[in-house]
Chains A and B, each alone.
Chain A
Amino acid sequence: MNTAVGLLTSTSEWQDIAPLLSVRELNKFYAPGKGCGDINFDLYPGEVLGIVGESGSGKSTLLSCLSARLTPDSGNVIYNSEQFGEMDLYDCEESMRRVLMRSEWGIVHQHARDGLRMNVSAGANIGERLMAVGERHYGQIRTKAEEWLTAVEIDTGRIDDRPSQFSGGMQQRLQIARNLVTHPKLIFMDEPTGGLDVSVQAKLLDLLRNLVSRLGLSVIIVTHDLAVARLLAHRLMVMRRGEVVETGLTDQVLDDPQHPYTQLLVSSILQN
């Protein structure tokens, strides 16, 4: 299904495809105004959805709820799984959620050390998910690890080095390789370029864009950086105080913002 997506152009064809992820009436509040609420959207296979908004607007809370790491107060997250079929994330066995997390999903954390095992080598970091889904052949794990290091532009000679010896940008790329090795369908990213300098950011974004289009990944990316959103996302959701204030195609939202907050957000970017 995924591979066909790239060929689809007209809207009518899109409508024949079932959404990968459907979110209905999702609410999660820590306190009034703190969290996210009344979230509804569909994510289709091959689509990159950006969630933008200021700090504290509920972006990361929403991402945690979507990626089965935080139980919402109410609402449904329906995921169309390859292994389990259509399933409600919070109305199924925890074991199924955990299987999803290490097979069909990838989670890229803002801080690479949250998503990596810092005390084992880069090869083991990439191989862990393979071993978690049952791979027991050392040679094959090693070959796959090398392939993915190459794919994220890390020298294969570094395969036995620990992530702590890597630069920030390399750690972030290693984290991406670690997630992609089991060929996930859906990737959740939380500020993947946060804390990196501009040239490293550009390189990482370029890499991400290539991987996403080559592998036909669906991505939900949380960022406060509108430039990142413009570069990667097909569609945008603008959040403020826990609510979605505007949604639409990326170019449409950024070039013709309707909501006053979005207008403020767009106009706050330095222009030259």
Chain B
Amino acid sequence: MSTATGYNFAYLDEQSKRMIRRAILKGVAIPGYQVPFGGREMPLPHGWGTGGMQVTASVIGETDKLKVIDQGADDTTNAVSIRRFFAHTAGVETTEQTADATLIQTRHRIPERPLQADQILIYQVPIPEPLRFIEPRESETRKMHALSEYGAMQVKLYEDVARFGHIATSYDYPVMVNNRYMMDPSPIPKFDNPKMSMMPALQLFGAGFEKRIYAVPPFTQVESLDFDDHPFEVQSWDEACAICGSDHSFLDEVITDDNGSKMFVCSDTDYCRERVEQGFVGTAADLPIADLSIAEVETN
């Protein structure tokens, strides 16, 4: 693959990468703690994954294999452009297969296939501060983290139960890391929260807009908040994936025409493809739609 000329390896200059690596090391040393860093301008707007990209740029090496997903899919705009960016500026190999990747940058999902110790998962984070909902002052939230004053976070869950009868927060679900720091897991569905705990892979979080980096080292305990009488639960579906028949993965609802027809398919496209290759079939196998990849399904 060709490398873009006139740019340093992986776009960022070496001094910036060094600064970011220091922040990452500090983050790994204090699991869940938000480390401020001097966020750099990236050639795309904040909110498009610049935090994750800076982390990726700082840890990527020539031998790495990069996978980028957005909502579980490899072929959405954000994923395609970020993958192409690193293919251009770092000349690294890219892949859509979770098993092959050494680095996975993600927005809003953790791959279904369990990650291994030689992989790194990099999250794009919009709002790194879980306490922001209850406390707008940064000086105060820092103090709350420092003194482990996390009772106020429970107020958010209380409001959920009071209003909906259950904890209705379904993504961005707050977690305690290593029994010390409250952490915002980025807007992944709470379905993915249990995967974060004791994961063999290193998890790095980059917030470009707010200029924060934090990390969950391998095999670290990550617990989702709850009430004694309203325990933490993940989403479940009555349907199985229409393409691969999976009844245990996170499903997206896809509208297939103007008449309200819909189907449920795996949000993790690579996982779905893998299962189809293994011979699993879903209910849509008989329909002409079955040979289409999800990106090609008519949604308008």
Contacts and interface: CB of A to CB of B under 8 A. Distances in A.
A138 B155 CA distance: 10
Contact of A124 (B155, B227, B228, B229): B155
A128 B151 contact: yes
B162 A132 contact: no
A138 B159 contact: no
B274 interface: no
A37 to B, nearest CB: 29
B154 A95 contact: no
Contacts of B161: 138
Nearest to B161: A138
A138 B162 CA distance: 9
B230 A138 contact: yes
Nearest to B154: A131
Q: How many of chain A's residues touch chain B, expressed as a range? A: 20 to 34
Contacts of B147: 94-95, 98
B283 to A, nearest CB: 39
A159 B147 CA distance: 30
A132 B229 contact: no
For the residues of B in contact with A, the DSSP-based class is helix
Interface stretch (A115-123, A206-214, A223-231, A260-268): A115-123
Contacts of A121: 159, 162-163
Interface string A104-141: 00000000000001001101100111011110111101
B151 A138 contact: no
Interface in B153-167: 154-155, 158-159, 161-163
B158 A127 contact: yes
Contacts of B149: 98, 132
B229 A127 contact: no
Contacts of B229: 137-139
B152 A137 contact: no
A117 B134 contact: yes
A124 B151 contact: no
Interface string B219-232: 00000001111100
A-B pairs, 8 with minimum CB distance? A132-B151, A131-B154, A138-B227, A131-B151, A137-B228, A95-B147, A124-B158, A124-B155
23 contacts: A94-B147, A98-B147, A102-B151, A120-B155, A121-B163, A124-B155, A124-B159, A124-B162, A127-B155, A128-B151, A129-B151, A131-B151, A131-B154, A132-B152, A136-B226, A137-B229, A138-B161, A138-B227, A138-B228, A139-B229, A141-B158, A142-B162, A160-B162
Given A129-B151, A131-B151, A131-B155, 11 more contacts: A94-B143, A98-B149, A117-B155, A120-B159, A121-B159, A124-B159, A132-B152, A136-B227, A139-B229, A141-B158, A160-B163
